[in-house]
């Protein structure tokens, strides 16, 4: 079954490049395109894609009556992820400052990429986010999650409280800690000497037991519960 993607960017050339890359794949398809945050919110509800590739900085279109209410990709992400059975949002921008990452995470994004990445890497990220297996490159996950976990601002979809880990087994806590370190499923499998299928089963179990929506919230929970040191 193909992963259905909604492309959101106010630059038609960017959308065209992404669509061209996606059209050459068998497992990813473009469900629709939007040129503004307000249009993205409408199409996400109408088309129900699996993943929304969302530009952060977009100007409201003057012909869009709801444009001022959804001024940019962060606002659109917040509205989209607040809906029941929301798609996962992969934020794509030319700006990689930390503040944009924090804003995207607070709004409910499940991934963050910059536009100068190779199209093949963006496609890979779409697949990863659709599977709920990662947030960012492991090299930056720990720093970003540690900072985000320590910030006082509430998220649109708050991470579960620390009491959520009280019912976890020692093995489940061990795996949660590795997620908090930014380890991928394959790395976790190697670290714990278990199969990839077993790792996926544990991740699914952790999501169910903690009430976390995705791997992003599991990583935040690991830091908030002290399973991962904030100093790296």
Say which DSSP state 228 is in: S
Same domain, 125 and 145: no
What is the percentage of the chain residues whose pLDDT exceeds 90? 33
Same domain, 102 and 24: yes
- Looking at residue 230, its pLDDT comes to 52
**More confident position, 5 or 134:** 5
Q: Answer yes or no: are the C-beta atoms of 204 and 123 closer than 8 Å.
A: no
- Looking at residue 155, its pLDDT comes to 46
Cβ-Cβ contacts under 8 Å for 72 (sequence gap 6 or more): 37, 56, 57, 58
The 10s digit of each residue's pLDDT in 73-109 is: 898 999 999 888 889 999 887 766 667 777 887 788 8
State the total domains in the chain: 2
- Looking at residue 49, its pLDDT comes to 96
End-of-domain residue from the set 131, 152, 171: 131
Question: If residue 33 lies in a helix (H) or strand (E), which one and from where to where?
Answer: strand 28-34
| Segments forming the whole domain that contains residue 182 | 140-224
- What's the token pair of residue 70? 């959804």
Same domain, 9 and 124: yes
End-of-domain residue from the set 81, 113, 131: 131
b/e for 106-116, b at 16 or more Cβ within 10 A? bbbbbbbbebe
Same domain, 17 and 68: yes
Residue 230 placed within a domain: no
Same domain, 161 and 91: no
Same domain, 88 and 178: no
CATH at 25: 3.40.50.2300
Q: Answer yes or no: are the C-beta atoms of 19 and 33 closer than 8 Å.
A: yes
What CA–CA distances, in Å, run from 53 to 26, 153, 173? 18, 24, 32
Same domain, 150 and 48: no
- Rounded mean pLDDT, 58-83: 76
Cβ-Cβ contacts under 8 Å for 64 (sequence gap 6 or more): 36, 38, 39
């Amino acid at each position: 079954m193909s992963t259905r993607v909604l492309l959101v960017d106010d630059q038609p050339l960017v959308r065209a490049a992404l669509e061209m890359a996606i059209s050459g794949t068998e497992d990813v398809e473009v469900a629709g395109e939007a040129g503004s945050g307000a249009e993205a919110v409408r199409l996400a509800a109408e088309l129900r894609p699996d993943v929304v590739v969302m530009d952060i900085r977009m100007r409201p279109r003057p012909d869009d009556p709801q444009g001022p209410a959804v001024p940019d990709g962060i606002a659109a992400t917040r509205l989209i992820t607040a809906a029941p059975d929301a798609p996962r949002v992969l934020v794509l921008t030319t700006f990689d400052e930390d503040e944009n990452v924090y804003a995207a995470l607070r709004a409910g994004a499940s991934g963050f990429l910059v536009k100068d990445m190779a199209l093949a890497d963006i496609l890979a990220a779409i697949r990863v986010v659709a599977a709920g297996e990662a947030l960012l490159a492991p090299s930056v996950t720990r720093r970003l999650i540690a900072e985000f976990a320590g910030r006082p601002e509430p998220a649109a979809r708050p991470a579960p409280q620390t009491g959520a880990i009280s019912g976890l087994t020692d093995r489940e806590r061990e795996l949660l800690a590795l997620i908090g370190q930014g380890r991928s499923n394959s790395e976790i499998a190697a670290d714990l000497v278990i199969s990839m299928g077993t790792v996926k089963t544990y991740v699914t179990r952790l999501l169910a037991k903690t009430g976390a929506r995705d791997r992003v919230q599991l990583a935040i929970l690991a830091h908030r519960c002290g399973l991962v040191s904030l100093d790296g």
